[in-house]
Amino acid sequence: MISGLTASDTLLELPTSGPHPELRKAEMRDIQPILNLINSYAAKGIMLPRTEFELSENIRDFTVAYQGDRLVGCGALHFYSPTVAEVRSLAVAEQTRTTGIGRLLIEWLVEEARDFKLDAVFAFTYVPGFFAKMKFHVVERGELPLKAWKDCLRCPKFTSCDEIAVLRVLAPYRYTAHRAAEALSLTEELLVQLPTVKPELAFNT
């Protein structure tokens, strides 16, 4: 859930010269390079570690960026409901020859979300300024699906989390309507029907 972006990755422009990265959907052969990239940040406490099993289960979520035969970035779009998904495992290799890889990955993942007709995408991050430039805005965690917190349970920072939740709404009218419907459903679930006393029992007391 934690992003492996740093301050340098907030540079949104790609250079006019030099090789541009190739973006594509991840394949099984990308699992080890992705693990190496993500877990290099996990060792520094910046991202959650991933296992080969987890990557194998979720490889279809991932998009990768390559320069030649070198993985220079990755990111995943993970679905939580028919309307909302999370941008996660976003990481850019250190000392890459190209800036702007983070932007390219976000643009790809947002476009993928649009293709699936999602209403919104969200992320947890330490670099909200970067996401702000990508049209995300800071939100309270309570606005996000409870299922989105499942990874938090195994995070060493669970009790003292300092990540910031950000959201980008892709379909404002549908998103607002769904949020209202969810709120109504939750309210109805919380209503408690008080027991009533039958008249014949009331007279016999």
Q: What is the CATH number of the domain that holds 117?
A: 3.40.630.30
Decide if pLDDT at 66 tops 50. Answer: yes
Our measurement of the distance from residue 143's CA atom to the centroid of its chain's CA atoms, rounded to an integer in Å, reads 14
Q: Give the residue from 133, 108, 135, 105 showing the smallest Cα distance to 122.
A: 135
First CA to last CA across the chain, in angstroms?
60
Asked whether the beta carbons of 12 and 100 are under 8 A apart, the reply is yes
User: Model-level pTM greater than 0.85?
Assistant: no
Q: Within a domain: residue 113?
A: yes
pLDDT of residue 194: 46
Asked whether the beta carbons of 74 and 64 are under 8 A apart, the reply is yes
Number of domains in the chain: 1
Decide if pLDDT at 9 tops 80. Answer: no
Q: Within a domain: residue 2?
A: no
| Averaged pLDDT score across all residues of the chain | 79
Which domain range does residue 90 map to? 7-203
